Structure 1
Amino acid sequence: MPSLQGHAAVYIQVVPLPNGRPVSSQDFKHFVIPENFKPAQVLNSLKWPDHHLTTNRKLHFSIAKDNDDVHFEIDSLTGDLFLSKELDYETASHFLLQVIIKDYSNNPPQNSTVFLSIDVEDQNDHSPCFQDDFVVIGVEENVPVGTLVYTFDAKDGDGSFLNSKIQYSLEMSNMGKNPFLIHPSYGILTTAFPLDRENIHSVILTVSAADQAINLTDRRLDSLAVKIVILDINDNSPSFISSSLSYIMEDVEVGFLVHRIIAEDPDEGRNGQVTYHILSGNENKAFALDKIT
């Protein structure tokens, strides 16, 4: 079975027990275990102090019953420590076990205690996650550069800083200059230059959230499709596209079509609807103008 002996380290310190008796550095051992370590594997063949390993000694190893933890088991004959349940850094990142060594070579048997301090090393086993798969956002044209459009908030369930630290980026699906910027750390989407609905009606973006695991190959990400609709404001005036000249014979019948006046407005909806009115020159009411056509 694989071993983590290379991860073992011993604290050079003295730890006081509740009863006041100090624990020497020989009685206190420290281990670091990866979060993805599999149950039934040997964590470490505990390097017990030499006075425990004298030949022909009958030793019995056990974990103190008051340690209410089911993640670890110890071989009562060899002192090998096993993982019996999967670890989850986000649930518990540190364990302190009390191992009791009973020496039956003496009469009566003698007990000694070793404390095991076990730290769980976080693995990047969670991916960033957006709450939605697709969002539609509306923003008015001609808003100032730097206007807040939306704030993205992806979550990552990892416990350590870099494994859960998220960096945002965006790509524009349709070709052209991207009119938006995103803050890599805070996910704030802002306008990069003035928007003109008459030139761009909508923009399709892909927003990505990637964690910052130390190893690039371990990094995880999630993506979100975003449609930004440019909302129209009444920023254009109607313009006439028909001729400004018309000819009519005298004595034509009342109701005769004199001229078709056509004006256009590039704005959208009600902002682009045109109505017609005679402002001057028709004092004797010789002409009638349909305000719609």
Structure 2
Amino acid sequence: PAFTQDTYTFVMFENVPSGYNVGTVTATTMDLNTNITYLITTGDQKGIFTIDKINGLIMTAGVVDREEQGSYHLKVVAAGGAVTGEAFVNITVKDLNDNAPQFLHAVESVNVVENWKAGHIIFHAKAVDPDEGVNGRIAYSLKQNPLGLFQVDEVSGAVSITGVLDVSAGSYQVEILASDMGVPQLSSSFILTVSVHDVNDNAPVFDQISYEVTLLESEPVNSRFFKVHASDKDSGANGEITYHITDGNVGDA
């Protein structure tokens, strides 16, 4: 038997049901008394395809997933008695948008300091989508943006601040969304916890510019006769105040 073509080329979409008709190969013989039977011999180790041994129709026998394998190269044989002929079948699997973008983790965290300026990049979001073309093209956006203090680059996933972060807030929960460009559009998101830390950018300030006190010469040694007070807007250790005399304490009185 001789096939009508040396090579057959078929195109199909992934995720079609089992039994889907991929295409037909045909062989002929000059011996009208010989029945031709068809067989797939190589290129289909997982048994994804089957061929009707009588009419040469190639069908799916299992799940065809483009992300697992995007093309198949089969060798088919037509047998007529003791004589055989062979041909090759190239099957290209087209993509469907069956995968949503995926982030590596569902939750991420980052530490920032309170005095970073608007535009400062604090994090790079990264999602992957195994689909091809527009089905695998990812755009980033913010699903949850506390006080509008954050922004994300649609293409690169770079997260930056738009204004001054408040250290008294402690932290912010930002939800970042990754969406593909396929139809239907698929997306996923994750939560970025932004923890704001204090910078020692405030000096202690006394509650008065100057103080005056009258002290009797009979005041006992080590007696407490006056108290000064200062405050510091910084938090934690940066806001803790210690006092000492720097000048004017003649004779360590």
Normalising by structure 2, we get a TM-score of 0.79
* Partner secondary structure for residue 150 of structure 1: strand
Amino acid paired to 1:63: L
- For 1:170, the equivalent position in structure 2 comes to 142
Q: Higher relative contact order at CA 8 Å, sep ≥6: structure 1 or structure 2?
A: 2
TM-align CA RMSD? 3.2
- For 1:29, the equivalent position in structure 2 comes to 8
- Residues 1:73 and 2:50 are matched in the alignment: yes
- For 2:189, the equivalent position in structure 1 comes to 223
Amino acid paired to 1:183: D
Residue 207 of structure 1, CA deviation: 1.2
Match of 1:206 among 175, 193, 218: 175
Once the two structures are superposed, the pairs formed by residues 6-25 of structure 1 within 5 Å of their partners are: none
- Residues 1:155 and 2:128 are matched in the alignment: yes
Structure 1 or 2: larger strand share?
A: 2
Alpha-carbon separation, structure 2, partners of 1:74 and 1:196: 65
Alpha-carbon separation, structure 1, partners of 2:60 and 2:33: 26
CA 1:67–1:256 in structure 2 vs 1: closer, same or farther (change >3 Å)? closer
* Partner secondary structure for residue 135 of structure 2: helix
CA contact (8 A) 2:123 2:160 kept: yes
- For 1:278, the equivalent position in structure 2 comes to 245
Structure 1, residues 231-277: CA drift from partner, whole Å, max 9, x if none? 22111111122685455463563244433211110112221111122
Residue 161 of structure 1, CA deviation: 3.0
Match of 2:228 among 253, 261, 265: 261
Alpha-carbon separation, structure 2, partners of 1:100 and 1:85: 21
Residue 225 of structure 1, CA deviation: 0.9
Paired residues, number:
247
Q: Percent identity?
A: 25
- Residues 1:95 and 2:72 are matched in the alignment: yes
Match of 2:113 among 140, 143, 149: 140
Normalising by structure 1, we get a TM-score of 0.70
- Residues 1:235 and 2:201 are matched in the alignment: yes
Amino acid paired to 2:250: E
Residue 206 of structure 1, CA deviation: 0.6
Structure 1, residues 95-154: CA drift from partner, whole Å, max 9, x if none? 2334344567xxxx8755554321111223333222222222111232344333222222
Residue 77 of structure 1, CA deviation: 2.1
Amino acid paired to 1:191: I
Structure 1, residues 170-216: CA drift from partner, whole Å, max 9, x if none? 24453x231x33222222223334x3545654322011222222x1x
CA 1:80–1:68 in structure 2 vs 1: closer, same or farther (change >3 Å)? closer
CA contact (8 A) 2:12 2:22 kept: no
- Structure 1 runs not aligned, ≥5 long: 1-22, 287-293
- For 1:5, the equivalent position in structure 2 comes to none
Amino acid paired to 1:117: N
- For 1:16, the equivalent position in structure 2 comes to none
- For 2:24, the equivalent position in structure 1 comes to 46
* Partner secondary structure for residue 163 of structure 1: helix
- Residues 1:82 and 2:34 are matched in the alignment: no
Amino acid paired to 2:180: D
Alpha-carbon separation, structure 2, partners of 1:45 and 1:129: 35
Alpha-carbon separation, structure 2, partners of 1:67 and 1:284: 100
- Structure 2 runs not aligned, ≥5 long: none
CA contact (8 A) 1:72 1:85 kept: yes
Alpha-carbon separation, structure 1, partners of 2:145 and 2:251: 60
CA 1:190–1:269 in structure 2 vs 1: closer, same or farther (change >3 Å)? same
Q: Which moved more, 1:241-250 or 1:144-153?
A: 241-250
Alpha-carbon separation, structure 2, partners of 1:76 and 1:57: 17
